[in-house]
Chain A
Amino acid sequence: MRRLPVAALGLALGLLFLWLPVLLLAAYAFSDARIPFQWGGFSLRWFAALAANARLIEAALLSLRVACGAATLAVLLGGAIGWVLARRGPFRGRALFGALAGTPLVLPDVVTGLSLLLFFVLLEGITGWPAERGATTILLAHATIGAAYVAVLVQARLAEIAPELEDAARDLGASPPVAFATITLPLLAPSLVAGWLLAFTLSVDDVVVASFVSGPAGTTLPMVVFSMLRLGLTPEVNALAVVILVLAAALLAAGALALRLARRRRGPAI
């Protein structure tokens, strides 16, 4: 019996809906025309232009730096929060702490951005730091948001790892730090990597919060692209999109490959 074509059609339409805009965007990156979405013959001129656009490149590098820093900070902060929530048992205010730790997940970016801006301004008024908002403030803002995601991931993972494993390690002669480093940390690693990637993506992606907490010194890539939209778009943006797509695809493939190798070596946790 043949499968109903309706399902296949639905799938095709769905995929088309998701990918057609992206495909069009990528295709017109190779167009010679000055105006976006007008075909003027094949050309790589916009890639050349992109390579020469110091402002875009600078913004991209800043974005990467901020995202790396924010993701790393988020893993440290969120890892600690997740560990406390999963392992410290009941303590006074635990529910409140858990709720507060997860708040950035549900708070609209506008609210987060505004509140962080006000906080930084207030902080500057009192302590004189941060003297100038920019890369550092964006990094801190992104780290706090990313930490919430990391905390959730780490807490969930720790709930799966039996605390007895660390007891067993200690019984076999490992001091608590050694037991953590040799048993808990390796088992936690996939969540930490996933959390880092998530925080990284959130940071690279973000316009709203960054716009709030940034100053003249810090303009991230999404902010530049967003401003280009108002000042006049060129297919440079399309070229940029292609570069990002290729990089993201490469990263995803590498990640999937690493995960597969790890699975083969390790298998699921208890």
Chain B
Amino acid sequence: MALLSLRGLVKRFGDTVALDHLDLDVAPGEFLTLLGGSGSGKSTLLRVVAGFETAESGAVLLEGRDIAAVPPHARPLNMMFQSYALFPHLSVAGNVAYGLKRDDVPRAERDRRVAEALALVRLQGFERRLPYRLSGGQKQRVALARALVKRPRLLLLDEPLGALDANLRERTGFELRALQRETGAAFIMVTHDQNEALALADRVAVLEAGRLVQAGPPRAVYERPATRFVAGFLGGANVLEGQPDGAGGFDCPGLAATLRAEAPVDRGTAACALRPERITLRPSPLAGANASQGVVEEVAFRGDDSLLLVRAAGGALLRVGHAEEDGAPPPRGSTVHLAWEAAAVVPLRG
């Protein structure tokens, strides 16, 4: 049975719809990332689950029980806030012990569990520090220890890595993953960073305008995006407009080419996605489907590869990846021949 089930959640703020008939299940011990741009409703979703916001309709089921009427302090789950929300007048130990005190955990056990939680996030020796004397990374770990000390079966994390600098973010991400495995709690993590979402999650759920657009394992969502939005949001795929040609192919006037996927393209296909790194440069023109040509407009060096902006024959601007091991990228203004495999073409439904 799912640990958490959201059924048809609707939440509006004035005229804006934050959650639009949203359904989502979270399994016990699962690491789920909620990915979306700002205003996609991902933070609202967390606040509804935590109980700080009330959905207008729909149900929040925790282990099968509707918790809509349960106030935040009585919900058996914990949340880590984006701002960390550490209590400035309490020491590190005081912050971590706060939740245990509310549950009247006896002193000896409380001390033991606080020490455990601080050991878990490697903050021994900081017990007496006040939050203002901690670095950003240390604050983040105190917030994490405070949220984990009550041993919740479900932990909500609102942009937990958002306030850290790039180096720390990657390392802390791995630590988060290890902590999640160690504690066995289900994590729901909100993020707007696609790399973070893909790297950490068992499952990624992409939100757009309060709706769940696609959910699945990171690799599946990345390789088989369902809609234009997901394709563009994850990895910046080229979204190619056009229409099915009725014979299993997809006519793309922008490329002046026909696209063919592995399976015949069905009638409902609205566009096709094509990832920049799946497009290869050819020395000579190639006949048939899944090939095009264009003029290089920009070349951007990105370290392990270069990104070319290619104006295709039909007028579409394509992002094309060019790996370093393939030699120097073609110069600006040169004409290039492009080709890709059928497996790289992903039909999109919306």
Contact call A172/B102, Cβ cutoff below 8 A: yes
Say yes or no: is B50 at the interface (Cβ < 8 Å to chain A).
yes
Question: What are the residues of chain A within 8 A of B83 when measuring CB–CB?
Answer: 162, 164, 270
- A163-179: CB near B (< 8 Å → 1, else 0) gives 01101111111111011
Question: Shortest CB–CB separation between residue B303 and chain A, in angstroms?
Answer: 38
Residue of chain A at shortest CB distance from B130: A267
Say yes or no: is A266 at the interface (Cβ < 8 Å to chain B).
yes
Given contacts A171-B72, A171-B78, A172-B146, contact A165 B87 (CB under 8 A): yes
Contact call B50/A172, Cβ cutoff below 8 A: no
Question: Shortest CB–CB separation between residue B215 and chain A, in angstroms?
Answer: 25
Q: Which of A249-268 contact B (CB under 8 A)?
A: 266-268
Question: What are the residues of chain A within 8 A of B112 when measuring CB–CB?
Answer: none
Question: Shortest CB–CB separation between residue B141 and chain A, in angstroms?
Answer: 15
Say yes or no: is B52 at the interface (Cβ < 8 Å to chain A).
yes
Q: Which of A173-189 contact B (CB under 8 A)?
A: 173-176, 178-179, 182-183, 186-187
Question: Shortest CB–CB separation between residue B91 and chain A, in angstroms?
Answer: 9
Given contacts A164-B85, A266-B88, contact A172 B99 (CB under 8 A): yes
Say yes or no: is B174 at the interface (Cβ < 8 Å to chain A).
no
Say yes or no: is B301 at the interface (Cβ < 8 Å to chain A).
no
Question: What are the residues of chain B within 8 A of A187 when measuring CB–CB?
Answer: 88-89
Could you tell me the distance between the alpha carbons of A270 and B85 in the complex, rounded to whole angstroms? 9
Say yes or no: is A18 at the interface (Cβ < 8 Å to chain B).
no
Residue among B75, B81, B86 making CB contact with A167, cutoff 8 Å: B81
Say yes or no: is A269 at the interface (Cβ < 8 Å to chain B).
yes
Residue of chain B at shortest CB distance from A269: B88
Q: Which of B279-308 contact A (CB under 8 A)?
A: none
Could you tell me the distance between the alpha carbons of A268 and B75 in the complex, rounded to whole angstroms? 31
Interface bin, chain B: 20 to 34
Question: What are the residues of chain B within 8 A of A168 when measuring CB–CB?
Answer: 79, 81, 85, 87, 146
Question: Shortest CB–CB separation between residue B149 and chain A, in angstroms?
Answer: 9
Question: What are the residues of chain A within 8 A of B52 when measuring CB–CB?
Answer: 167, 170
Question: What are the residues of chain A within 8 A of B71 when measuring CB–CB?
Answer: 170, 175
Residue among A173, A175, A176 making CB contact with B99, cutoff 8 Å: A173
Could you tell me the distance between the alpha carbons of A187 and B90 in the complex, rounded to whole angstroms? 10
Q: Which of B32-85 contact A (CB under 8 A)?
A: 50-52, 71-75, 78-79, 81, 83, 85
Could you tell me the distance between the alpha carbons of A172 and B102 in the complex, rounded to whole angstroms? 7
Could you tell me the distance between the alpha carbons of A132 and B102 in the complex, rounded to whole angstroms? 49
Residue of chain A at shortest CB distance from B74: A173
Contact call A268/B88, Cβ cutoff below 8 A: yes
Could you tell me the distance between the alpha carbons of A166 and B133 in the complex, rounded to whole angstroms? 21
Given contacts A171-B73, A173-B73, A174-B73, contact A162 B130 (CB under 8 A): no
Say yes or no: is B325 at the interface (Cβ < 8 Å to chain A).
no
Contact call B88/A169, Cβ cutoff below 8 A: no
Could you tell me the distance between the alpha carbons of A269 and B90 in the complex, rounded to whole angstroms? 11
Given contacts A165-B87, A169-B87, A171-B50, contact A266 B130 (CB under 8 A): yes
Residue of chain A at shortest CB distance from B72: A170
Question: Shortest CB–CB separation between residue A177 and chain B, in angstroms?
Answer: 11
Contact call A172/B88, Cβ cutoff below 8 A: no
Question: Shortest CB–CB separation between residue A162 and chain B, in angstroms?
Answer: 6
Residue of chain B at shortest CB distance from A266: B89
Say yes or no: is B275 at the interface (Cβ < 8 Å to chain A).
no
Question: What are the residues of chain A within 8 A of B98 when measuring CB–CB?
Answer: 169, 172, 174, 182
Could you tell me the distance between the alpha carbons of A269 and B81 in the complex, rounded to whole angstroms? 17
Contact call A268/B132, Cβ cutoff below 8 A: yes
Given contacts A162-B83, A267-B132, contact A172 B89 (CB under 8 A): no
Question: Shortest CB–CB separation between residue B317 and chain A, in angstroms?
Answer: 42
- B83-113: CB near A (< 8 Å → 1, else 0) gives 1011111000000001100110000000000
Could you tell me the distance between the alpha carbons of A164 and B81 in the complex, rounded to whole angstroms? 8
Say yes or no: is B150 at the interface (Cβ < 8 Å to chain A).
yes
CB pairs A–B below 8 angstroms (21 shown): A164-B83, A165-B85, A165-B88, A167-B52, A170-B52, A170-B73, A171-B78, A172-B73, A172-B78, A172-B99, A172-B146, A173-B73, A173-B99, A174-B73, A186-B89, A266-B89, A267-B133, A268-B88, A270-B86, A270-B131, A270-B132
Task: Enumerate chain A interface residues (CB-CB to B < 8 A).
Answer: 162, 164-165, 167-176, 178-179, 182-183, 186-187, 266-270
Using A172-B98, A174-B73, A187-B89 as known contacts, list a sample of 5 further A-B pairs with CB atoms less than 8 Å apart, ordered by residue number in A: A172-B73, A173-B74, A174-B98, A270-B86, A270-B131
| Top 9 A-B residue pairs of the complex, sorted by shortest distance between their CB atoms | A172-B99, A173-B102, A168-B85, A164-B85, A267-B132, A170-B72, A170-B73, A171-B79, A267-B130
